[in-house]
Structure 1
């Protein structure tokens, strides 16, 4: 970790809410997107970038695309990361892509945390994510309306600084 700076990479399945998470933290964040057959709108094809201050730390957030075909982008963005956030759609739960990302990050021994997103929607089950990922920290959030997003990030940054 560079003195006073943290690189945190945001991972998650397609449509989990990674871009919304970063935008909730930094409304001026940058987003590289394209239209997609998989969604009705645009989707991330390279990365998102946001920055903010958390206490004495300048935090740089890099959001990764959620489609399997962008594995190479995730590998590039992962270099030199101080921590990882896995965003999970709490209305659908932990899927195969989330398990794949989790396995890769555990192998890298990088500090990580889960953000159970979309907790403001009917059918959201953050406790299911806690059961599926025993021993891992799971923060219930809503990136769309900003609920608990900053508090969850602040708590994660505090764990990284304490290391």
Structure 2
């Protein structure tokens, strides 16, 4: 069993992120809030599970049986002194770790932190970046296990260049990817970036790449948008595209006669909701919409095939790109 630890200050987004993490067999994930207490001249760090009373000390949390760590930092607040100290502690333990710079929707500036670890931009409330970062950490753990003769610390920084000049931390995500690929070309023995983002689900077979993907469209009056979004989010659908459109039918169009000709004078405004998903998940969309269906939500749902989906940052495709 791979044991992953999620650490972060209270309110950094850990609990919200857990709701979006895909289930992985043989992976156990625990989450803890952290804070610093100073009594006289002595400083200690206290950890607690969200919603559970009681505290644990840092050495009890980051123990020898932990395989990897995700550290959440609220990007809208920035790096605190305590954040820095926790990062340093985990780094000194030589445990593979990544940092999630959460709340990019509030502040997308580069996180300022003295660490060479990979920093994953994330918006936990929407699930953006969460599973990407977890996959990268799991691959770091896997590579660490394979490299028995190599200290773990070397692989805790997969974003580090193999050239004489190290990559400066906290640069743009796309620049980090570019440097990783460049480093692999110079030294093929180092793990390449594509290896980091392959699927970490041993129970699945190659048939997963054949999963049928479709695009779903639903048209509704703008007044129903909030109800529909909430219903879909309750079923786990968060990647939604909205488009304002004009929708005509035989009952909704008003006409006016001008110089013996009749003209449309009003095109009712509607919202078109689009989602790309596995075809097998369409039934769950129907289940979500049925209880709130009104005459302001179009009765027809349009479904069209999608040949493929490719995630630009990681080059994943098919089902992997839409998870």
Fold conserved between structures, TM > 0.5:
yes
Cα displacement (A) at 1:147: 0.8
Computing the radius of gyration over CA atoms, which structure comes out larger, 1 or 2? 2
Match of 1:98 in 2: 83
1:10 — aligned with what? 6
- 1:24-35 alignment to 2 at 5 Å? 24-25=20-21
Aligned residue runs from structure 1 range 82-97, under 5 A: 82-97=67-82
Q: Cα offset for 1:110?
A: 1.1
Cα offsets for 1:91-114 (capped at 9, x unmatched): 111111101211211221111110
> Whole-Å Cα distance in 1 between the matches of residues 97 and 136 of structure 2?
12
CA contact (8 A) 2:7 2:34 kept: yes
The equivalent of 2:133 in structure 1 is 152
Pairing of 1:46-85 with structure 2 (within 5 A): 52-53=23-24, 58-68=26-36, 70-71=46-47, 72-79=56-63, 80-85=65-70
Q: Which moved more, 1:99-108 or 1:69-78?
A: 69-78
TM-score for both structures, normalised by structure 2: 0.37
Task: For residues 55-109 of structure 1, give each alpha carbon's deviation from its aligned partner in whole angstroms, at most 9, with x where no partner exists.
Answer: xx52211111223352425433322100111101111111111012112112211
Q: Is the 8 A contact 2:84 2:114 kept in 1?
A: no
Deviations 1:118-161 (A, max 9, x none): 1122x332x233xx234220000111110121111112111111
Preserved contact between residue 74 and residue 102 of structure 2 (Cα < 8 Å)? yes
Q: Structure 1 residues 134 and 104 mapped into 2: Cα distance closer, same or farther (>3 Å)?
A: closer
Number of aligned positions between the proteins: 127
User: How many angstroms apart in 2 are the aligned matches of 1:152 and 1:23?
Assistant: 15
Task: For 1:13 and 1:124, locate their aligned partners in 2 and report how far apart those are by CA, in whole Å.
Answer: 19
Paired position in structure 2 for 1:128: 111
- Structure 2 residue runs of 5 or longer lacking an equivalent are 38-45, 48-55, 145-323
Tell me which of the two structures has the higher relative contact order, counting C-alpha pairs closer than 8 angstroms and 6 or more residues apart. Answer: 1
Give the secondary-structure state (helix, strand or coil) at the position aligned to 2:111: helix
What runs of 5+ residues in structure 1 fail to find an aligned partner? 27-51
User: When the two structures are superposed, what TM-score results if normalisation uses the length of structure 1?
Assistant: 0.70
